[in-house]
Structure 1
Amino acid sequence: MSRLSSRATPWLAIAAMAWCALVQPVHATTSITHPAQFLDQAEKLRTADHPQFVRMLEQIHQETPRLNASEQWQLRYLDAWETMYEGNYAKSEIAFRDVIDHSGNTILAAKASGLLLNNLALNRRYEEGFALANRLTSDLPSISDPNARFILLTNLSQMLDFAGQIDLAIQYARMAQDIVPRGESLCRPLSMQVAALYNGKRLTSSSPILQQAIDSCSAAREPVFTNVIWLTLGSLYLDENQPDKAMALLDRIAPAIIANHYYPHMLSSQVERAQAYAKLGNDQEARKAALTALAMSHPGDISEWLMTAYDVLYHIEKKNGHNANALSYYEHYVAQSTGNLNDITARTLAYEMAQQHTLVQKLETETLSKQNNILRLEQALDKKAVETSRLYIVLLLVALVSIIYWLFRLKRSQLRFKQLSSLDGLTGILNHQNFMSEADRALHALEKKQGSACLVYVDLDYFKQVNDTHGHAVGDAVLRRTVAICRHHLRPTDLFGRLGGEEFGILLHDCSSHQGMAIADRIRGAIEAASVDGDGSAVSFSASVGLASTNVCGYSLQKLCREADAALYRAKRSGRNRVIANTENGDLVEA
């Protein structure tokens, strides 16, 4: 079975809180007799001293009848921020939309829009999120307030990072770094750059920007951001097989994480601790930390942290010979892994559907950089406002001409994208998402006419060794040869797709369990007999196969996937290069 990285990614936590802390205007602390100033001071303390912020919210709520309309809207905004900080994204989304649509305050609406952008991503509503990102980009030229502009630039950096556009994410973060407004620090732009570099696998534990970001966030008294960067360093230590350093770091920052009581940090620190203990050979403490992480998770959560926790527990139980527990944890691991793969696929497709707008944003990047320079000149040279406005209009016209040009080009490429979006780029067969949707549709049709079908999982054995020994080019040739072999043995009505890595899925239409076993074994035998050329030498390979039949499992795709995966797991554990399927009495048998 193919594996995702066992690393829990602490930078997913920044997607849940970076926008919750983006604007902190500096005002002097006053008594409650001045509500507006009191609210400003509370906003400043959100991440610098979160417990004090919560106490100030409780205090100002007692004075709600005395607040004017503007102050009440600011209080609603801060309440929504706290709701999002606590992890209730659905409730906070409603509040942010209320602020955007009805507050009448453009600056407050810009702040709420940034938070809403992140909320949509966290709730996996990617198409809406990317559409909002494009709208915010188009609004950016009309926003002259330094704080609001700073918010949107950092928001765009985060969203592009989320879509895997690492270079653009870094560029927007550096643009925000160039226009840090009064009362802000370099903490957030540097944090955005660290996030993009980490997700782009361009960061090591010795990268200078890590220490620069830690120093900036510590000096700015931003404990939440500081903890994110520390957790990133801990994850890098684990990636670099330095569990002793990771454990020492986790022990050092534990009091700060407990003090802030921020759920993503509490969860990720427990998972990192479980990984470190496991690498150090302390199975008891590793199990304890992993179970603690699972206990604090929310029902239905899908994340790399939970996937990693289940992976740690699976390997511990397997190591100690507790096969039943190991299988249970493995099933949870597969569910998390599948959920993550589906999420990544959905996110990628949503981004590609908004590609024409994203390309426009690329064209506007240079224009926005010039606009940042204009804003700095406006702040320093108010007497030259008229001249600056004229230059601003010229730049917008240039951007508009460029947008029109690229829109014509993108229109011609949309049809081809729609055709290719359902296929795997390397092998040309269905990708994971489209295979699952087509299989579900086929099973519903078979159920109506009481037909039968078999779901087959094919996983190449020791595929990582092929890549490590002969290189990824030979590995790609093995994958393409496997696809050609499978296609040769399949009928036109059968579905065939790549589930991820070296794993493939086949749905055999109108096929009994016995027939499915025969077809699966022919495929396995043909793969075993095949080879590819690897620098002058023949590279052989084999596959393990798991099969589940509708005659036994019914027509539920979820159950068929679970049973086929369990059969594949048994084939792997029984020595590989074999076919195992469930029988009518629920047992697993080998072909």
Structure 2
Amino acid sequence: MTKIFSSWARLVAFLFALSPFSTVCAQDAALLDIERVHFDDHQQALVLLNNLDLQSLSPEDKEYHRFLKALLSAYEGNLENAFHSLTAVYTDVQSTRVKNRTLVSLTAMASFLGKWEQGFMYANALQRALANEKDETLMLKGLQGLLIFYLNAEQYDIAKMLAQRIEKHSPADSPYRCLGEVAMMDIAAKEQVSESKEARYQTAKANCAASGSRYYISLLDNAYLTLLIKQNKPQQAYRLSKIMKKRVEDIDVLFLDLAFNASLAQLYYLLGDVEKAKTSATFVLDQLDKREFLQSRIDALLVMVKIAKAQQDFAQALQYAEALSKAESLLREDNVVKQVAYQQANFNLAIKENEIALLDKKNKLLEQQTQLTNEKINVVTLALVVIAICLAALVFWSYRSRKLHLKFKQLAEKDGLTGAFNRSFFIESAQKVLPVQKDLQSDCCLILFDLDHFKQINDTQGHQVGDKLLSATVAAIYEVVNADTLVARMGGEEFAILMPRCDVIHGACVAEQCRKAIEGVRVTHVKSNLTVSASFGVSDTSQVGYNIDNLLAAADLALYKSKQNGRNQVNRYFVE
């Protein structure tokens, strides 16, 4: 399998390779042969499929044949065409089992194509279908499709619940069980859990080995490797990486190669082997710049930025930082699309349920009209009452929808803890403000700062005190800046301030005022005297232009200089 082929072939592996489907739909022997060979030799599977005598198949097997043909078309390299073919199959077939099987593939494939609105629609339909499914194999197949979808949609709470259901209903050596174990380990790595997962990892690896899936064993190993790195256990991670290396090379799947090398880059950096860290990171960055590989690219760029800063190659650090900012921006865009699609799907579901309820009321009204033809006056009165109730319900629903819309808008713009703008809204607003200021030939200044030793405060004083400190910090900043200033929480303890009509000199003065204001922040109910400080970096458009990514990258370099020089200070960015 070539690396060009593998970026979409891993989707086919997810959708189709985990378990035999023979007990679910197909009865014809030739279809069963195709089932057995489709993943190991898809060309042979396609030949067998095209040579089948359709006249000899039962009606249900004919529909299953059509489903196989649509799904195997993914091997031609065009997932979009395969998705449209499967959509047509889902619309046309009569067999409930084939329809549900198609629904599983559509749900998972929609997530890989970024068709989130359709994906959530199919996911809701699949969940309704599984509620009445008695066949355990079909149920597990459906749970598998939902698990893949919600993992890609980053709805980890739902994914955990689905993985637990799969573990509950499948034996230890089942490939379904293996997928559930991989999912749980992957979620643990993404959520950066602090407790050890060694026992669970060993159990999961034994189960996956029993299922015979080298690919899923490698995915499991890489998830655990990522977790070990995030838990700062480089020696244990290094031993695991040595075991993984040969298997990853043998499997030769680009997605896995990139994820593994991104992890190696972080690991070697932790171990202090800068050259090997650069080699692994460069391998990732040399691949095609595709959205589906964004996380690996971000991990590699983070390592390269750290190396360049450590080597004081600030020009190279800025270049990597700009690429990192671009990749993170694309990832944030994808996440926003996912969240909006999720909320929209829930909203549409609620509307549909209300429409069904309203339709039921109308049907009951028609029945009453038929039964009470001799009491027309009472029927008309009843009808008016029902209509009035329906209108009141619609008015109430419209009012509620408006409130929900306003709530979603606020959630999309503001950080729920501090009340400052969130990162995505800040970037979007800056991209509107900067061109206007450019046309006016007016400078803009950007201040980037983060609280010094905030993690230590969280560890010693507790997260509740840390949250109060973040809120108090934003309140102190708002006391200093003007009303037209954008203040945003960029993530964790990092904040940004964008000031129109302001150059870097004035911006540094404002930053100094903010620094002093933060020094005066006090939080009640702390275990000991709590001293708060922050480090600042300032940049402006006269040096780096009217581009928010450039402003952020330049301010970040100045902030890094503040930290290098002892923290609790302000530094301006200068073009060398």
Q: Is the 8 A contact 1:302 1:336 kept in 2?
A: no
Separation (CA, whole Å) in 1 of partners of 2:35 and 2:527: 67
1:351 alignment counterpart: 342
Classify 1:413/1:214 alpha carbon distance in 2 versus 1 (closer, same or farther; 3 Å): farther
User: Offset at 1:57?
Assistant: 4.0
Q: CA RMSD in A?
A: 4.0
Aligned position for 2:219? 228
- Say if 1:166 and 1:200, in contact at 8 Å, map to a contact too: no
Query: Matches of residues 147-296 of structure 1 in structure 2 within 5 Å?
Result: 147-161=137-151, 166-180=156-170, 186-201=177-192, 206-296=197-287
C-alpha displacement of 1:544: 1.0
Give the match's secondary structure for 2:531.
strand
2:21 to 21, 25, 35: 25
Say whether the 8 Å CA contact 1:547–1:580 is kept in structure 2.
no
Which residue in 2 is equivalent to 1:471?
462
Unaligned runs of 5+ in 1: 1-12, 28-32, 47-51, 361-406
Q: Could you state the TM-score of these two structures normalised by the residue count of structure 1?
A: 0.73
Query: 1:558 and 1:540, CA in 2 relative to 1: closer, same or farther beyond 3 A?
Result: closer
Q: CA deviation at 1:152?
A: 2.2
* Residues 176-217 of structure 1: CA deviation (Å, up to 9, x unaligned): 345559997533344444444554555865554433332232
- Are the structure 2 counterparts of residues 90 and 232 from structure 1 closer, same or farther at C-alpha, using a change threshold of 3 Å? same
Cα pair 2:194 2:231 within 8 Å, conserved:
no
In the comparison of the two structures, how many residue pairs are matched? 509
User: Whose Rg is larger?
Assistant: 2
For residues 563-578 of structure 1, the aligned pairs below 5 Å read 563-578=554-569
Cα distance, 1:539 vs. partner?
1.3
Which residue pairs with 1:390 in the alignment? none
Residue 542 of structure 1 pairs with residue 530 of structure 2: no
Q: Distance in 2 between matches of 1:321 and 1:526?
A: 31
Matches within 5 A, 1:387-536: 414=404, 417-418=407-408, 420-421=410-411, 422-447=413-438, 451-532=442-523, 534-536=526-528
Distance 2:514 2:187 in 1: 42
2-side partners of 1:203 and 1:502: how far apart?
A: 20
Give CA-to-partner distance per residue, 1:469-525, whole Å, 9 cap, x none: 433333223322221121112222222221111122222233345443433332234
Corresponding residue number in structure 1 for 2:108: 118
Give the one of 77, 96, 108 matched to 2:71.
77
Return closer, same or farther for 1:92/1:580 CA change in 2, 3 Å cut-off. Answer: farther
Change (3 A) 1:579 1:220: same
* Aligned equivalents of 1:417, 1:512: Cα separation in 2: 36
Identity among equivalent positions (%) equals 24
Change (3 A) 1:321 1:165: closer
* TM-score normalised per structure 2: 0.74
**Structure 1: how far apart are the matches of 2:456 and 2:350?**
39
Quote how far apart the aligned CAs of 1:541 are. Answer: 0.9
Distance 1:113 1:470, change over 3 A: same
Query: Could you report, residue by residue, the CA deviation over 1:200-241 in whole angstroms, capped at 9, with x for unpaired residues?
Result: 555865554433332232222222222211222323333444
Identify the residue that residue 370 of structure 1 maps to in structure 2.
none
| Higher RCO, Cα 8 Å, sep 6+ | 1
8 A Cα contact 2:448 2:495, kept in partner: yes
Residues 511, 536 of structure 2: 8 Å contact kept: no
Return the alpha-carbon distance in structure 2 between the equivalents of residues 170 and 15 of structure 1.
20
Give the partner amino acid of 1:480: S
Check the 8 A contact 2:208/2:217 in 1, yes or no.
yes
Q: Quote the offset at 1:424 in angstroms.
A: 0.7
Give CA-to-partner distance per residue, 1:375-398, whole Å, 9 cap, x none.
xxxxxxxxxxxxxxxxxxxxxxxx
Deviation at 1:426?
Answer: 1.0
